[in-house]
Amino acid sequence: MNVLTTRSHRTQLVITGLSACLVTSALFTAYNAYTKRKRRRSLAEQIRQSLAAGIDAPVVESGVALKDEILTEELFIRTASKGTYDEDLIREQLARNYAFFGEEGMAGVRGGSVVIVGCGGVGSWAAVMLVRSGVSKIRLVDFDYVTLSSLNRHATATLADVGTPKVACIERTLRQISRWVDVDGRIEIWRKEDGGRLLEGANWVVDAIDNITTKVDLLKYCHDRNIRVFSSMGAGAKCDPTRIQISDISYTIYDPLARAVRRRLRSKGVSSGIPVVYSTEVPGDVKLLPLPEEEFEKGNVKELNAFDDFRVRILPVLGPLPSMFGLHIASYIICDLAKKPILNPLPIKNRRKLYERLLRDLLHRESKLLGKQINKLPIDEDDVFLIFEDLQLGRSVVPPHAVPSRPQLIRWDARKALSLENCVVFEFSEAERHARECLSVRRDPREVWGDEVYAIVVRNAARIARYREWVGL
């Protein structure tokens, strides 16, 4: 009985102790919450008094009253950005960048000034990473507003930003990231007639414009005035991140926007000297979404544009791709500002010599097949890349589709002219058999290689037809 009484007494002591701990913890939590609210109210009052003394308060354009805590945060960001910010805190925030670039490099980054023209999916991501990396002066130029469809790719826009300028929502986020950044937001369109004022003082200009006429005007303007400019080509209708490249505009391939920009620039006397980010991916079945028929019945569909020459229809965009384009741009510019420029971007798969050899061997086989020396084929090295990399993924057309140790390009059907559609990849021994059993006797290759290989050739021909339509060939 004494044992039971002792155990019961100990249990009561344990329960009493736990209860006391819980009560004490609750009191401390309540006290901390009270003091926190009191400090926030005090801070809000101090900021309001400072603003009343001469610092402009932010304008709430939507007409919806903000909650006290959100308003306090916005006012604090605005107030802090107008004053000084402790250098030790800046260096702590940029510690990883200082470790990478060193003092001299980061001095260049922090002293850099960048103008971003076009603040959509590409431009917004470039802006965010430039500021996160230490760029202290940035100008944002865009006339457009956030829509619901912007949210799948924009770096800073939220549901609350729908209907507001893209420039404004990026500016807000940049100030939240960096208290010392100088952000100059311009809700306007860049025009060559007076665009110089928007580019003043820029070490770099980022071209992230959708409209090809304005894009070409900006690139031409910068090139003629020795203003360094980095241009984004087409991120729409693409999905393969491994095909994203940085190169000079003159080296771009398989990008319809790059092709059109390159031709227009060449007609204006600009053939090279502009770094770009683009994708070598050949789009699949995606294309511009058609307008409903009733829109055409209402009249001229160009009247639907916000501005003349800007696109009306919607291009399908997979959100991650524009962000990657923006990050490529930011990385390139940051390294340049830090005096560690990316001087020689990796060529496409670094296999140019392979394509040259494949083309040379194909030229030799065609001369032998036609019984005369020919100096030029209807396909070039870029076409070799398309056939070998995109269509056949660097593998033989013959099952089990092994990676050939000595790949060969060869005409598929001797009864048809050599073309993108009529050219396949074989291993050397397979190519020799094909030349002997099909080409030399003009035999139907389907009889030799079977229905499975024939189906692959037909499927690839359909893909090439879509590619021709995409690039306008």
- The pLDDT of 103-118, averaged and rounded, is 97
* Residues 6+ positions from 312 with CB-CB distance below 8 Å: 291, 301, 302, 304, 305
In the structure, what pLDDT confidence band is assigned to residue 12 with cuts at 50, 70 and 90? confident
The predicted pLDDT at position 288 comes to 56
**Closest to 55 measured CA to CA, from 72, 84, 78:** 78
Residue owning tokens 């729409």: 236
Cross-strand partners of 186? 141
- 119, 161 contact by CB (below 8 A): no
Q: Determine how many CB atoms are found less than 10 A away from the CB of residue 436.
A: 11
CA 232, 234, 236 angle in degrees (round to 5)? 130
- For the chain, the average pLDDT equals 82
pLDDT of residue 348: 59
Q: Evaluate whether 333 touches 206 at the Cβ level (below 8 Å).
A: yes
For residue 112, the model assigns a pLDDT of: 96
What is the gyration radius of the CA atoms in the chain, in angstroms? 31
Q: How many CB atoms lie under 10 A from the CB of residue 76?
A: 16
Given a cut of 50, whether residue 63 has pLDDT beyond it is no
pLDDT value, residue 243: 87
Give the pLDDT score at 312.
47
* Res 310: pLDDT: 44
Pick the closest to residue 324 from 240, 381, 210 (CA basis). Answer: 240
How far is the CA of 297 from the CAs of 57, 106, 304, 413, in angstroms? 48, 58, 13, 47
Instruction: Identify which has the larger pLDDT, 314 or 83.
Output: 314
- Do 162 and 147 contact (CB within 8 A), yes or no? yes
Rounded distance, CA 112 to CA 404, Å? 49
As a whole number, mean pLDDT of residues 130-155 equals 95
Check residue 128 and give its pLDDT.
97
Structure confidence by residue, pLDDT tens digits, 385-430 = 888 887 888 889 999 998 888 999 999 999 999 999 999 999 999 9
Find out whether 208 and 233 touch, Cβ atoms under 8 Å.
Answer: no
Q: Is the pLDDT of residue 322 over 90?
A: yes
Helices 68-82 and 166-177: angle between axes, nearest 10 degrees? 70
Q: What predicted TM-score, i.e. pTM, was given to this entire model?
A: 0.64
**Which tokens sit at 398?**
């013959």
Q: Which of 52-66, 209-223, 454-468 has the highest mean pLDDT?
A: 209-223
Q: What is the mean pLDDT of residues 343-359?
A: 74
Q: How confident is the model at residue 61 (pLDDT cuts 50, 70, 90)?
A: very low
Mean pLDDT of the 14-26 span = 72
